[in-house]
Amino acid sequence: MRVLNYGSLNIDLVYAMPHFVRAGETLASLGHQTFAGGKGLNQSIALAKAGADVCHAGKIGRDGLFLRELLERHGVDTSCLAVTDGPTGHAVIQVDPSGQNCIIICGGANQEITPADVDGVLRHFEAGDVLLIQNEISSLPYLIGAAAAKGMRIALNPSPINEALGEMDLSAVTWFILNEIEGEQLSGKRVPEEICRELLAKYPGSTVVLTLGKRGVLCADGRDTISHGIYDVPVVDTTAAGDTFTGYFLAGVLSGLSPAQCLERASIASSIAIGRAGAAESIPERAEVDEKQALWK
C-alpha cells in the first residue's frame, strides 16, 4: 500500500504584521520571510516525518525547484512531480502578533494540472493505495473519479473550501479531515456533532475527523465518536497546523494506530508546529512528537 498525495506546492511570502491590513490601508510589515508551503507539500512533509511512505504528485515552475529538493530531503518520492514553464504557485501570508494568519493563494502551476496529467500519475498506483487530496489544484473532480475507479482509498482535506468543492461527488471519500467551517459548508450543519452525523449519513462508511480549534477535535465513524483536547502552548504562527494534523493523522491510521492514538499524535504534532514560524519548516520530526507525548501525558 502506497500513499499518493496529489496536491499544491507554493512559495510562501510571509509578512509579520502589527495587524491584518484593512480595506484602503497601506501598512508596513515588521519583517518578511520566504518559506516552502502549499497545503499539499506541507502534508507530504508531515506524512514523511510521521514515517509514511509518500509520493507527491503536482506541478511547479522552475522557480520552485527548491520545493522539490525539500521534499526529496525528507524522503518523499517526487517522480510524479512535473516542472512546467510557468510560475510556481505562491501564497501571500500575513501573520499577526497573536500568530493568526490570513492567506491569499495564487495557483500558478498548481492550476495547470490536466486530466491527462492525472492519468499519467495514476497508472503508477493500484487498488488499495491511498490518495490524499486538498483543494488547491485543478482537475480535482477528474482525479477523484479516476482514483475511485481504480479502487484507491481517498482522504480529503477540503481546504480551502469553495462552492465548487461542495458540488463535487465525494461519495468515494473514506476519510474527511476538515475544520468547522469546511464541515458546515459540506453538511449544512453548525453544531460539531451534527456536522459529523450529517456527513456520515451522506457518506456512509467514511470517517470524519473534525478539528475544532481551541476545542480540540472529534473523530466519528459509523460506530463511535471520540474526542481529543488541545495542548496549551505559546502560539507563534498557526500556518500549516492543519496540514501537520492531517499528515500525522493519516500516517497514524495507515500504520495501524487506533483512532485515539492517531488523534493524540496529530494533536501533539500540530501543537508543536504552531510554536514555530513558517509552513513546511514548522512541522516536527516524529522523535519530537514522541518526546512531547511522553512529557505531556
Please give the residue ranges that form the binding site for ligand RIB (CB under 6 A): 8, 10, 12, 37-39, 42, 91, 103, 105, 136, 239-240, 242-243, 279
Nearest-approach distance from CB 32 to ligand RIB, in angstroms = 15
Radius of gyration of the chain (CA): 18
- The H or E element containing residue 249 is helix 241-254
Of 128, 127, 109, 1, residue with least CA distance to 57: 109
d(CA 114, CA 213): 35
Q: Among the options 12, 85, 243, 290, which is catalytic?
A: 243
243 is catalytic: yes
Which of residues 78 and 270 has its CB atom nearest to ligand RIB in the complex?
A: 270
Nearest-approach distance from CB 241 to ligand RIB, in angstroms = 8
Which of residues 145 and 275 has its CB atom nearest to ligand RIB in the complex?
A: 275
Give me the residues paired with residue 179 across strands: 211
Which of residues 58 and 242 has its CB atom nearest to ligand RIB in the complex?
A: 242
Which of residues 10 and 270 has its CB atom nearest to ligand RIB in the complex?
A: 10
Find the residue with minimal CB distance to ligand RIB. Answer: 37
Nearest-approach distance from CB 105 to ligand RIB, in angstroms = 5
CB neighbours of residue 224 within 10 Å: 10
Straight-line distance from the first to the last Cα atom of the chain, in angstroms, rounded to the nearest whole number: 32
Q: Is the peptide bond before 160 cis (omega within 30 degrees of 0)?
A: yes
Q: Cell for 128?
A: 488499495
Nearest-approach distance from CB 88 to ligand RIB, in angstroms = 11
CB 32 within 8 A of CB 14: yes
**Which residues are part of the catalytic machinery?**
243
